[in-house]
Amino acid sequence: MDQQFSCWPSVRSNASQVFMRMLVLLLMSGVLYGQTQPAPDKIKADVKTVQNAVNDVVGVALPGWGILQGAKAAYLEGYGIVANVEVAFDSPANPFTAIKTPEEIRKSATQKRGEVQEKLINALKQKVPLLDSLEPGESVAVILNVLNTNPAYVPDMPAQIIFSAKKQDSSQVKVVESK
């Protein structure tokens, strides 16, 4: 019976040795490659800069009712800064406002969507290179969560639009839409 389980202790010791080596490697990688964590004050200032820029862009394009939740940003170590904002490109149809045709609603939502996208892309191109706390390989992402208030009139509206730009190549802003 003892012979059946004789290999277990060696497997455990090998696994723990491999784990310890990987842990030491991960802990030392930052030291070996000269990577240092940016100062918390710089991170905080850059996060606030991105957050304010997103709020300004979206606030101008969608005044009043269009912003459902203002931008909230955070720094993710190893990635960069991520901002999240929730918007609606058109007010919901209701009996207490002027009646709009489906074409008017579709045209208005499409126009506002294009305006927000253009302004966010331009803001990222301008702001990302100026962020001191980001390493060249880190990025800034803006997640635009879209509430489709008139799904019958605008069925092709994405539920989420993600804008991302790397600091080393901020002139290229990647836009990904998902339903």
17 with 87, same domain: the answer is no
Write down the residue that tokens 């997103």 correspond to.
54
Place of tokens 């497997």: 11
Residues of the chain with pLDDT under 50: 1, 5-16, 18-19, 23, 31-34
- For residue 175, CA distances in Å to 53, 89, 101, 120, 172 come to 17, 18, 30, 10, 10
Domain count along the chain: 2
How far apart are the C-alpha atoms of 117 and 160, rounded to whole Å?
A: 12
pLDDT at 121: 92
pTM as predicted? 0.72
Tell me, yes or no, whether 28 and 55 share the same domain: no
Rg (alpha carbons) of the chain, rounded to whole number: 24
Give dist(CA 118, CA 24) in Å, integer.
45
Domain with residue 87: its CATH number is 3.30.300
Q: Name the region of 140 (left: φ>0; alpha: ψ -120 to 50; beta: rest).
A: beta
The per-residue pLDDT for range 67-104, each reduced to its tens digit, is: 888 889 999 888 998 999 998 888 777 777 778 888 88
Query: Does residue 122 share a domain with residue 170?
Result: yes
Give bridge partners of residue 75 from the DSSP assignment. 81
* pLDDT at residue 84, as a whole number: 93
Domain that holds residue 65: 40-178
Same domain assignment for residues 69 and 131: yes
- Whether residues 159 and 94 share a domain: the answer is yes
Residue 95, token pair as written in the block: 């009996």
